[in-house]
């Protein structure tokens, strides 16, 4: 591909601006009469700096999975594996990042300025991408000597390439993973894979960015203010209780990696401890005509119901995103209903036979099936009836402000019945 002079000129200007900015930052720290100023100005001449950068780029490596966070003294391999090259699964992992992700850089911290240089973007492509593709305009921007320009581009392209033979280290973590092979015994040494876990630095950085946005962005602050005032806001409020921050790299986070340096060494650890249940005593439902009179007063029911009402009041567009959000909320409410049933099934059977129990027959059969005796001799389909009662209850919560009717009733009932039947199959 032949070089385009205007584009090569634009790339040359981009490189020049980067070097001028870095030089200015260094000169500001020196007195005007310091002889080092002349030396620095010579070092930041484009040809001189690019030649030095092409040599130093070999000291660093672009990665998505790094070893240093496992142990700062580990000397083994780190890997560059873009998300699309990873095995997909139902779990959360680096494969979830998609096409847009931040690669990290490990190696000599003194050479990280080369990576910052290669991250410079022109027309949506980084200088690293252009180097990898051998872009003719970039080669021309590097040097009037095409051979020399191509050598430098090839050297920079090596940042994304692997480094030597894969290896682990005594300071790295390793674990034996038992193969799913019924023909081998667990006592057989050959029945195991030896795994060497790496730190998913690109995934960790995405999680960090999401946490920062959810905690400190202007939109997140506005959403929390709206929640406090009891008003609607389109953005959900996300909380991360008991969040812990692990510091990697101490006072020199750049020694771990570039992204670690950008996070100031912060490694966010989500709480992974059992919940502390504060359950009220479970009592029979006496003196009420429907289980929904009691269940509907629960905070875990009122909050999602209120959120659903506010969301629909905002007249969201009739698209798949809206339908999915509504469905997720309704399914969460049904889960709460199933949890409510599970608590009452723990009561002594027969409590619905008391004269104080005014519940409908279907609800009594659903909540106290072991001791239910139908009056008519025909036992009701308790699950279908409770699903319909749930749909009527949800419509009642929404109807005062929203035009819900038979169509919505049918959707709520269908979602509830599917979930209740799944539970029935598990209990059968």
The confidence score (pLDDT) of residue 338 equals 94
In a domain, 346, yes or no: yes
Q: Is 118 exposed, middle or buried (0-12, 13-18, 19+ CB in 10 A)?
A: buried
C-alpha–C-alpha distance, residues 53 and 155, integer Å: 9
Regarding whether 154 and 257 lie in a shared domain, the answer is: no
Is the pLDDT at 164 greater than 70? The verdict is no
The confidence score (pLDDT) of residue 105 equals 87
The confidence score (pLDDT) of residue 378 equals 44
Regarding whether 305 and 248 lie in a shared domain, the answer is: no
The confidence score (pLDDT) of residue 1 equals 46
* 180-196 average pLDDT score: 82
Residue-range definition of the domain harbouring residue 316: 291-427
The confidence score (pLDDT) of residue 377 equals 46
Is the pLDDT at 380 greater than 80? The verdict is no
In a domain, 196, yes or no: no
Residues 295-354: tens digit of each pLDDT: 999 999 999 999 999 999 888 998 999 999 999 999 999 999 999 999 999 899 999 999
Residue 316 burial (CB count, 10 A): 14
In a domain, 151, yes or no: yes
Regarding whether 257 and 151 lie in a shared domain, the answer is: no
Regarding whether 419 and 310 lie in a shared domain, the answer is: yes
CB–CB of 79/198 below 8 Å? yes
Number of domains in the chain: 3
C-alpha–C-alpha distance, residues 390 and 337, integer Å: 9
Provide the sign of the torsion angle of the four alpha carbons 235, 240, 241, 245, taken in this order. negative
Regarding whether 321 and 262 lie in a shared domain, the answer is: no
**What is the b/e burial string over 343-374, where b = at least 16 CB atoms within 10 angstroms of the residue's CB?**
ebeeeeeebbeeeebebbbbbbbbbbeeebee
Regarding whether 10 and 156 lie in a shared domain, the answer is: yes
CB–CB of 265/362 below 8 Å? no
User: Which of 117, 137, 136 minimizes the C-alpha distance to 127?
Assistant: 117
H helical segments located in 1-120: 5-27, 36-43, 46-56, 112-118
Regarding whether 154 and 9 lie in a shared domain, the answer is: yes
Q: How confident is the model at residue 69 (pLDDT cuts 50, 70, 90)?
A: very high
Domain stop point among 269, 299, 318? 269
């Amino acid at each position: 591909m032949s070089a385009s002079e205007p584009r090569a000129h634009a790339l040359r200007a981009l490189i020049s601006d980067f070097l001028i900015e870095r030089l200015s930052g260094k000169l500001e720290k020196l007195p005007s009469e310091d002889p080092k100023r002349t030396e620095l100005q010579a070092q930041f001449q484009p040809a001189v700096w690019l030649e030095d950068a092409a040599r130093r780029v070999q000291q660093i490596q672009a990665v998505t999975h790094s070893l240093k966070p496992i142990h700062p003294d580990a000397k083994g391999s780190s890997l560059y594996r873009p998300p699309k090259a990873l095995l997909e699964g139902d779990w959360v992992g680096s494969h979830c990042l998609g096409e847009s992700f931040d690669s990290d850089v490990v190696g000599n911290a003194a050479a990280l300025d080369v990576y910052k240089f290669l991250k410079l973007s022109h027309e949506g492509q980084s200088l690293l991408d252009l180097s990898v593709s051998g872009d003719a305009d970039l080669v021309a921007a590097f040097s009037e000597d095409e051979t020399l320009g191509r050598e430098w581009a090839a050297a920079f392209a090596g940042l994304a390439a692997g480094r030597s033979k894969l290896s682990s280290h005594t300071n790295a973590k390793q674990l034996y993973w038992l193969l799913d092979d019924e023909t081998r015994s667990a006592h057989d040494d050959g029945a195991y894979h030896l795994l060497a876990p790496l730190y998913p630095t690109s995934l960790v950085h995405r999680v960090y960015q999401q946490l920062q946005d959810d905690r400190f962005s202007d939109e997140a602050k506005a959403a929390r203010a709206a929640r406090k005032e009891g008003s609607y806001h389109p953005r959900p409020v996300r909380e991360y209780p008991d969040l812990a921050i692990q510091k990697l790299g101490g006072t020199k986070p750049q020694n771990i990696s570039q992204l670690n340096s950008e996070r100031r060494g912060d490694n966010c650890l989500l709480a992974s401890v059992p919940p502390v249940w504060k359950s009220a005593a479970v009592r029979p439902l006496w003196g009420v005509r429907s289980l929904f009179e009691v269940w509907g007063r629960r905070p875990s029911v009122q909050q999602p119901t209120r959120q659903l009402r506010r969301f629909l009041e905002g007249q969201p567009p009739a698209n798949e995103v809206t339908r999915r959000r509504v469905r997720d909320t309704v399914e969460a409410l049904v889960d709460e209903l199933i949890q409510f049933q599970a608590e009452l099934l723990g009561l002594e059977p027969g409590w619905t036979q008391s004269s104080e129990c005014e519940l409908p027959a279907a609800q009594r059969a659903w909540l106290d099936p072991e001791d239910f005796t139908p009056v008519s001799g025909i036992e009701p389909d308790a699950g279908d009836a409770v699903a319909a009662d749930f749909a009527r209850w949800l419509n009642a919560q929404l109807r005062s402000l929203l035009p819900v009717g038979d169509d919505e009733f049918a959707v709520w009932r269908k979602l509830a019945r599917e979930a209740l039947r799944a539970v029935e199959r598990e209990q059968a």
